[in-house]
Amino acid sequence: MVHNTKVAKRPRGRPQLRPDEETRRLVIAAARQEFHANGYAGASCARVAERAGISTKTMYRLIPSKAELFQNVVSERISRFILEMDERVLDALPIEEALEHILISYGTLTFDEETVLTLRLVFAECDRFPEIAATFAEFALRRTTQTMEAWLNRQRDLGKIEIDDPSTAVGMLRGMMIMEPQRAIMLGQRKPPGRAEIAKRARYCARLFLDGCRPRRGQSSAPQREMA
């Protein structure tokens, strides 16, 4: 009796390679570890490749310089914050809850150990490497400011708040939320706050801010005095 047993055919050609995007994520994670372990000056692109488990040739093809590695590390972390600022989600919430959500997300980002380590690196080495300060300003500070400012502009356009200078207001709001705890953390005087403390601070800051800029119906705005 003859048995016709089918044998699975092996696919021809090279085995499927890891997608570049997945490899890029591994490189960015490895670069983050390398920068935090050795600083910017001491970081080695060869060690980044080794940490990521790839060749230096592959790494340089995807991210060709140390400066771009640092840029990607900063940008990737901020992108996680931006994803939490979904306009449709925020606009479906009452204004108080929406602002609390923004401030909780911002506080969580700012007090995160990864962010603290990166900021310390920038402060320590920006004199020798001004490009890392420029990168942090462009891909961290500017992006978070623009995101929060866009939300304030929408609330103003909807008539929910009265505000003349959203950009300045964002700076005040950010400072109120994070300045004192962040300074103490940077000086080693305290540990980063936990989720509950961040949420409590966010509620308090949101109430103070909104109480100061809600529309006051029937009252004319007091003329602003020019600064000398």
Q: What is the DSSP string of 176-214?
A: HHHHHHHHHHHTTSSPPP-HHHHHHHHHHHHHHHHHHHS
Residues 49-74: tens digit of each pLDDT: 999 999 999 999 999 999 999 999 99
Query: What string of pLDDT tens digits covers the 228 residues of the chain?
Result: 444 544 445 445 444 467 899 999 999 999 999 999 999 999 999 999 999 999 999 999 999 999 999 999 999 989 989 988 888 899 999 999 999 999 999 999 999 999 999 999 999 999 999 999 999 999 999 999 999 999 999 999 999 999 999 999 999 999 999 999 999 999 999 999 999 999 999 999 999 999 988 887 655 444 443 433
Q: Does residue 40 lie in a domain region? A: yes
Q: Does residue 228 lie in a domain region? A: no
Q: What is the CATH number of the domain that holds 60?
A: 1.10.10.60
How many structural domains are present in the chain? 2
Asked whether residue 125 falls in the same domain as residue 160, the answer is: yes
Asked whether residue 83 falls in the same domain as residue 38, the answer is: no
The two three-digit tokens of residue 58, written as one number = 């592959």
Asked whether residue 85 falls in the same domain as residue 168, the answer is: yes
145 is in which domain, residue-wise?
Answer: 71-213
Asked whether residue 40 falls in the same domain as residue 125, the answer is: no
Asked whether residue 108 falls in the same domain as residue 43, the answer is: no
Question: Which of 7, 31, 64 is a domain's end point?
Answer: 64
Provide the whole-model pTM: 0.82
226 three-state secondary structure:
coil
Kindly state the greatest CA–CA separation across the chain.
106
Q: Helices (DSSP H) in 63-216: which residue ranges?
A: 66-83, 87-91, 95-111, 113-125, 130-136, 142-157, 166-186, 195-213
Asked whether residue 75 falls in the same domain as residue 52, the answer is: no
Q: What is the CATH number of the domain that holds 184?
A: 1.10.357.10
Q: In this structure, which amino acid lies at residue 119?
A: L
Asked whether residue 88 falls in the same domain as residue 161, the answer is: yes
Q: Does residue 89 lie in a domain region? A: yes
Question: Which of 31, 64, 97 is a domain's end point?
Answer: 64
